[in-house]
A and B are shown apart, each in its own frame.
Chain A
């Protein structure tokens, strides 16, 4: 049974810092991995999708990497801003299509 773990559960940083969020999964036979952002009480916004054949994806200040063999992904946020404060969720899915989510990392960026 696939399990997804995110570390840390919560993170508080001063504005301008670079930071890394971690995601690990137990079954390396994944199809894709997706990072989401969730603001309090809201839906999910997709940040980056990494297909199983890819090793990383970049969008603006965000960079996500994937190492299937070790069951790990990282989300790197450069030059963090207060507007980046949110919960970041990692999710994996196999070819059957069901998303399995981690518990999320709650990020707070202080001005």
Chain B
């Protein structure tokens, strides 16, 4: 399975500021995914990060709030912009190499907005 390094592991941020989360994969992957897990909830897909093109966002998520970069096949960033307390969640990146490998997740970023 792929190995993902996700940073930071946690942060406490002031409302109105932005935080950028990074994910580095140990091998090249076509698609990377960003998820949000609100307190007590399951995971919700934010967007699919595509190399060489704009990210594909799910319903309810917009690029201005969650800009994503994918400069190459091993790296992606998610920015949470103009944060409010409602953005307090765990954010996770994920990749899948092929159908026999399954999905691999990063260790998560626990964000608290005060």
**Chain A residues packing against B (C-beta within 8 Å):** 31-32, 34, 36, 41-46, 49, 51, 89, 91, 93, 97-99, 101-104
Please, which residues of chain B bring their CB within 8 A of the CB of A31? 99
Beyond the given pairs A44-B94, A49-B102, 7 more chain A to chain B contacts, judged by CB atoms under 8 angstroms and listed by A's residue number, are: A32-B102, A34-B103, A41-B10, A41-B108, A42-B107, A46-B1, A49-B100
For the complex formed, measure the closest distance between the CB of A22 and the CB atoms of chain B, giving whole angstroms.
15
* The 9 nearest A-B residue pairs measured at CB: A49-B102, A43-B108, A44-B105, A43-B107, A101-B42, A43-B105, A101-B43, A103-B42, A34-B102
Tell me the complex Cα distance, A95–B60, Å. 23
Please, which residues of chain B bring their CB within 8 A of the CB of A103? 41-42
- In the complex, per-residue mask of B43-80: 1 if CB is within 8 Å of any chain A CB, else 0: 10100100000000000000000000000000000000
For the complex formed, measure the closest distance between the CB of B15 and the CB atoms of chain A, giving whole angstroms.
21
- In the complex, per-residue mask of B70-114: 1 if CB is within 8 Å of any chain A CB, else 0: 000000000000000000001010101001111111111010000
Tell me the complex Cα distance, A93–B90, Å. 22
A41 close to B42 (CB less than 8 A): no
B13 at the interface (CB under 8 A from A): no
Closest to A41 in B: B110
Tell me the complex Cα distance, A100–B95, Å. 14
Most buried by A among B10, B33, B43, B96: B43
Please, which residues of chain B bring their CB within 8 A of the CB of A102? 42
Tell me the complex Cα distance, A74–B14, Å. 43
B94 close to A99 (CB less than 8 A): yes
Please, which residues of chain B bring their CB within 8 A of the CB of A99? 33, 43, 45, 94, 103
Within the complex, which residue of B31, B41, B43, B102 is in contact with A46, where a contact is CB–CB below 8 Å? B102
For the complex formed, measure the closest distance between the CB of B41 and the CB atoms of chain A, giving whole angstroms.
8
B6 at the interface (CB under 8 A from A): yes
Please, which residues of chain B bring their CB within 8 A of the CB of A101? 42-43
B99 close to A42 (CB less than 8 A): no
Closest to A33 in B: B102
